Structure 1
Amino acid sequence: MTRQATAPVLFDLDGTLLDTPRAIVSVLDRVLAESGRPAPPRKQVRATVGRPLAAAFGELLDLPHEHAEVEAAVARFRELFRETVVPEAKSMVFPGVPELLERLRGEGRPLAIVTSKIRASAEELLEPTGLAGHFDAVVCHGMAPRGKPRPDLALLAARQLGRAPEECLVVGDAVDDMRMAHAAGMGAIGVSYGVATAGQLLGAGARAVCDTVPALGETLGVLRSSAVTAPRG
């Protein structure tokens, strides 16, 4: 089997493998309510899903990322997430994801997770899902100088997999995932069952957008490297 036929796939976590965005928004809302500050529009809150927590709360509280209130909000979010969301993690795996990962592994394709979660948060969420064993690398916020949408995390994942960036494909549900892939010289596949719409993902550089996990599996069967051209949409 050629290297092109075993091209690595770099998956986002929230909204791509796990149906967590609604739970994340719920926890964000609770932390914001506890802050005593005016509640931002729900659309604005949802748009921060997938971003590093300090950046999300900095925007939502209209404060610098390093502000003490932002740091307190981040700590509170992680506490509530651990208490209310992590215990339900296994039930949040999108239907068809375990089978897709099994198939990709069977094809010999290296797999990685690239997430804006810090390492401890990613691991505590992944462990109860039973998905962790499918991945050769888990790359998290803080493991590279810059996070999404900069290319650093994706490039680190490629290095850990021992592959060139141009061989890799990124799969994600957020605009920042698509922008990260483009900046890293990687192909990007969007999934519209998470946070961003198909139009937003295509506008950010996705070469294909899938609305279900089975559709994603079909697309990955065609796009075996970022060198393959595919129509958008």
Structure 2
Amino acid sequence: MTTAILFDVDGTLVDTPAGMADVLHAVVAEHGRTATDEQVRRTIGRPLAASLAGLLARPADHPEVERAVDRARELFTETVVPNAAKLVFPGVPELLTTLRARGHPLAVVTSKVRPSAIELLTATGLLDAFDCLSCHGMAARGKPHADLALLAADTLGVPPARCVVVGDAVDDVRMANAAGMVPFGVTTGVANRVELLLAGARAVFTSPATLGPALLLTSDTRSVRPLPEVI
């Protein structure tokens, strides 16, 4: 059975973390608060409500957080999405095309809500590369819990043990391990090599160019075990 590949989006396929950081800084400032670059960086990749709740020091269901989430999505649409096609990491379209040609089922597993994921992936031209989207709110729990990854595997009809998760954040790696999947880390986003390895990444890659050959060896997930820690 061919292995399914589950991709995170922000920081993995598309270089959006910097734009998202600008959005979060702007929203926090609009609410009369300040946050350091490091405080903002640590929240990127999480659901917006969780990120902004932490930055605004409010419960996630607080009306101020709900307004901030709506504003963040508005700013992201206005400032980041129009440039999305230019933010796709070099080599990503070719990698996805090759994986599909080799028969690998492909999914997105993201902390974005589905409308936001569709908006961004449409703008990048990547949407049609994927067989399914597993987005925040579509399962009982988000990352780092296993639920979204297991939803994607179930939708694709592939056992979790035959799925590889590719992500740039510690939560992606933890989700993969919780789901019984193989976690690959990439250093194109918010977490560094050490953070990804300590979280349990099987291997860490610096770019789609170095990631691609490893994924093409995953028709049997056992083949990833001898990979070096960093490529």
Give the structure-2-normalised TM-score: 0.96
Give yes or no for contact 2:8–2:166 (8 Å, CA) kept in 1. Answer: yes
Q: State the distance in 1 between where 2:14 and 2:28 align.
A: 23
Native 8 Å contact 2:184 2:201 kept in 1: yes
Tell me the equivalent position of 2:13. Answer: 17
Q: Structure 2: which amino acid aligns with 1:11?
A: F
Q: Map of 1:141-156 to 2, 5 A cutoff?
A: 141-156=136-151
- Aligned-pair RMSD on alpha carbons? 1.0
Deviation at 1:225, TM superposition (A): 4.2
- Note if 1:232 corresponds to 2:197: no
Instruction: Structure 2 unaligned segments of length 5 or more: list them.
Output: none
Deviation at 1:129, TM superposition (A): 1.2
Counterpart amino acid of 2:54? E
Please report how far the alpha carbon of residue 49 of structure 1 lies from its aligned counterpart in structure 2 after TM superposition.
0.7
CA shift, 1:62, in A, is: 1.1
Deviation at 1:40, TM superposition (A): 2.0
The Cα shift of 1:47 comes to 1.1
Moved more, 213-222 or 10-19: 213-222
Q: Distance in 1 between matches of 2:219 and 2:170?
A: 22
- SS of equivalent residue, structure 2 residue 185: strand
Aligned to 1:31: 27
- What runs of 5+ residues in structure 1 fail to find an aligned partner? none
Partners of 1:134 and 1:212 in 2: how far apart? 19
Letter paired with 1:144: A
C-alpha distance in 2 between matches for 1:144 and 1:65: 18
Matched to 1:135, the amino acid is F
Work out whether residues 166 and 225 of structure 1, in 8 Å CA contact, stay in contact via their aligned partners in 2.
Answer: no
In structure 2, distance between residues paired with 1:181 and 1:110? 16
Query: The residue matched to 1:222 in structure 2 has which SS?
Result: coil
Counterpart among 114, 117, 126 of residue 121 in structure 2 = 126
Aligned residues: 228
> After TM superposition, which residue ranges in structure 1, 4 or more long, deviate above 4 angstroms?
none
1:61 and 1:225 map into 2 onto residues whose CA distance is: 45
In structure 2, give the amino acid aligned to 1:63: R
Residue identity matched to 1:35: H
